Amino acid sequence: MAEIASLLTDDEKAQAVAELRGLLGDRLTTSLPIREAHGRDESWHPVVPPDAVAFATSTEEVSKIVRICARHRFPIIAFGTGTSLEGHISAPHGGLSLDLSRMNRILEVNAADLDVHLEAGVTRKTLNAWLRDKGLFFPIDPGADASLGGMAATRASGTNAVRYGTMRENVLNLTAVMADGSVVHTARRARKSAAGYDLTRLLVGSEGTLGIITELTLKLYGIPEAIASGVVSFPNFEGAIDAVIETIQSGLPVARIEFLDEVQVEACNRYSKLSLPVTPLLLVEFHGSEASVAEQAERFGAIAAGHGGGAFEWAVKAEERTRLWEARHNSLYAALALQPGKKGLISDVCVPISRLAEAIAGTKEDLRTSPLIAPIVGHVGDGNFHLIMLVDPDNAAEVAEAQRIHDRMVMRALSLDGTCTGEHGIGEGKVKFLEAEHGEGIAVMRAIKQALDPLNILNPGKLLPA
Ligand SMILES: Cc1cc2nc3c(=O)[nH]c(=O)nc-3n(C[C@H](O)[C@H](O)[C@H](O)COP(=O)(O)OP(=O)(O)OC[C@H]3O[C@@H](n4cnc5c(N)ncnc54)[C@H](O)[C@@H]3O)c2cc1C
């Protein structure tokens, strides 16, 4: 692979920045606070600012920016909203943070075909607010109000994925600027296609290492006629997880099924002013007609009761439902508030649903003898869960302990035929596990990277092991 551009001299970098400034004027900045804000994500990974930040406004402009950077071998790190969690947007080799947040136009909605075409900087909440009075919604909901370009780039998912899939299933077409500045459209609007290599899915999850996504066509869904959410508490986590496994195996089309352990419940109670019993719980939601929602809820209630679940606490009104799901989406901030000043070593793994109990039990056992405070929360219907370990980054012993538990959690997931990340992605934080997960597949990934980005200017140092 090509040498990385950190080997550029200060003069060479200054030339790249000067040429970019000629194109962008005051939409190119070298201000330190702005650079730092673009080298910092929401995790514990250190801030590594880029040399400059550019605010692009069109695909054509992104193409020109990429051509300039390619000529100077100046790294480019695409930036959506900076909510990723594995050091994805840090700039270990310097270069340009290419901020797409000003590309925020919703370009076309085809209600008859249930799709929308938009620019990469539109955020998921903006899209859903805009769609609401059309009776439509886009279901993928990472806790943060992320950009849809960033969500495609990380193959994001969230609480609705158990019913509606992840970004992998919901992107129909991408417009992307490749490393040489050329512009490609990966597909048409057709719901399925057998025409050639699937470039859409190659770019989805590529974390800015293969191309810059500038526009997307996404699938939409009708807002369900009836929605019911509720909470069931369990005396122990085993009962809750067994209830999830039975729910999924029985084919119940639950729309959301989220697990919070007792530590996370306590955190959410304090942060979101709830008064849930401090025991493991499942937060569930059903979508459909009035009759089908009632039937699903009844079937789920029976399954939960069979595993020790208590009475269903229904959130009947829309405001109550929103309050519960907001508390769930804020669970990271609730966890961080348990020990102000500490950072969250946040990680996610995903395993086949039948192995979920083993995966969580192993981590719970590791935590039992650890001094760390570490809530567990998860999109368990997909076999996906998150661990948030609160650490003082300046306390070497604490960091080492968190890394020990983290590495054991990941290696356990791999041994259970799972993956080192179900949704957060690789960034820098999970690079060391990619080889263990993919083996020979890494060589194929390297060949793709070499073919599409021979100068290694797109987010160098991320995703693939050096
Ligand atoms: C509180 C909280 C809760 C979260 N919950 C979830 C969750 O439930 N599920 C989940 O999946 N994630 C979750 N996340 C992680 C995060 O929100 C997702 O990874 C999200 O997809 C990142 O989008 P972004 O716009 O912030 O991307 P950024 O952080 O800006 O970028 C992420 C990566 O994508 C690349 N990138 C960004 N935009 C583009 C583009 N247009 N073209 C090419 N590459 C691009 C960047 O270079 C980088 O590698 C959570 C984060 C927080 C803070």
Beta bridge partners of 256: 285
Q: What is the mean pLDDT of the chain?
A: 96
* 55, 81, 84, best to mutate for ligand 1 pocket (most atoms within 8 Å of CB): 84
- Give the C-alpha separation, 231 to 259, whole Å: 10
Residue 4, pLDDT score: 58
At residue 32, does pLDDT exceed 80?
Answer: yes
Residue 285, pLDDT score: 96
- Give the C-alpha separation, 49 to 35, whole Å: 5
Average pLDDT, integer, range 362-371: 96
At residue 266, does pLDDT exceed 60?
Answer: yes
97 lines ligand 1 (CB under 6 A): no
Q: Quick check: helix, strand or coil at residue 80?
A: coil
Max distance between CA atoms of the chain, in angstroms, equals 69
77 lines ligand 1 (CB under 6 A): yes
* 104, 140, 147, 154, best to mutate for ligand 1 pocket (most atoms within 8 Å of CB): 154
At residue 3, does pLDDT exceed 80?
Answer: no
Q: What region does 94 belong to: left with phi over 0, alpha with psi -120 to 50, or beta?
A: left
Say how many Å lie between the CA of residue 146 and the centre of ligand 1: 6
Alpha helices in 221-289, H assignment, sequence order: 237-249, 262-272
pLDDT over 70 for what percent of the chain? 99
Q: Which helix (H) or strand (E) holds 116?
A: strand 115-119
- Note the pLDDT tens digit of each residue in 305-361: 999 999 888 887 889 899 999 999 999 999 999 999 999 999 999 999 999 999 999
120 lines ligand 1 (CB under 6 A): yes
143 lines ligand 1 (CB under 6 A): yes
148 lines ligand 1 (CB under 6 A): no
Average pLDDT, integer, range 115-135: 97
Which is nearest to 459 in space by CA: 215, 132, 255, 153? Answer: 153
- Note the pLDDT tens digit of each residue in 222-257: 999 999 999 999 999 999 999 999 999 999 999 999
Which is nearest to 346 in space by CA: 391, 384, 282, 400? Answer: 391
- Note the pLDDT tens digit of each residue in 405-446: 999 999 999 999 999 999 999 999 999 999 999 999 999 999
Q: Which helix (H) or strand (E) holds 304?
A: helix 290-306
| CB-CB contact of 212 with 250 (8 Å) | no
Measured in Å, how far apart are the chain's first and last C-alpha atoms? 9
pLDDT band at 123 (very low <50, low <70, confident <90, very high): very high
| CB-CB contact of 203 with 186 (8 Å) | yes
Torsion angle of C-alpha atoms 431, 436, 441, 442, degrees rounded to 10: 30
At residue 93, does pLDDT exceed 90?
Answer: yes
Residue 316, pLDDT score: 76
| CB-CB contact of 73 with 51 (8 Å) | no
Say how many Å lie between the CA of residue 48 and the centre of ligand 1: 17
177 lines ligand 1 (CB under 6 A): no
206 CA: nearest ligand 1 atom:
44
Better pLDDT: 149 or 318: 149
Say how many Å lie between the CA of residue 86 and the centre of ligand 1: 9
At residue 2, does pLDDT exceed 80?
Answer: no
| CB-CB contact of 4 with 456 (8 Å) | yes
- Give the C-alpha separation, 110 to 124, whole Å: 18
88 CA: nearest ligand 1 atom:
49
Residue 46, pLDDT score: 87
100 CA: nearest ligand 1 atom:
41
Average pLDDT, integer, range 199-207: 98
| Atom 27 (ligand 1) nearest CA | 150
41 lines ligand 1 (CB under 6 A): yes
- Give the C-alpha separation, 202 to 314, whole Å: 41
At residue 5, does pLDDT exceed 60?
Answer: no
Residue 318, pLDDT score: 87
Say how many Å lie between the CA of residue 422 and the centre of ligand 1: 13
| Atom 11 (ligand 1) nearest CA | 156
Average pLDDT, integer, range 295-300: 94
| Atom 13 (ligand 1) nearest CA | 142
Residue 48, pLDDT score: 94
At residue 290, does pLDDT exceed 80?
Answer: yes
Say how many Å lie between the CA of residue 424 and the centre of ligand 1: 7
- Give the C-alpha separation, 346 to 155, whole Å: 17
- Give the C-alpha separation, 261 to 281, whole Å: 7
Q: What is the DSSP string of 327-386?
A: HHHTHHHHHHTTSTTPEEEEEEEE--GGGHHHHHHHHHHHHHT-S----EEEEGGGTEEE
- DSSP type of residue 425: -
* Sign for the pseudo-dihedral over CA of 77, 34, 126, 165: positive
Average pLDDT, integer, range 158-170: 97
pLDDT over 90 for what percent of the chain? 94
332 CA: nearest ligand 1 atom:
1
Residue 313, pLDDT score: 85
pTM over 0.95: yes
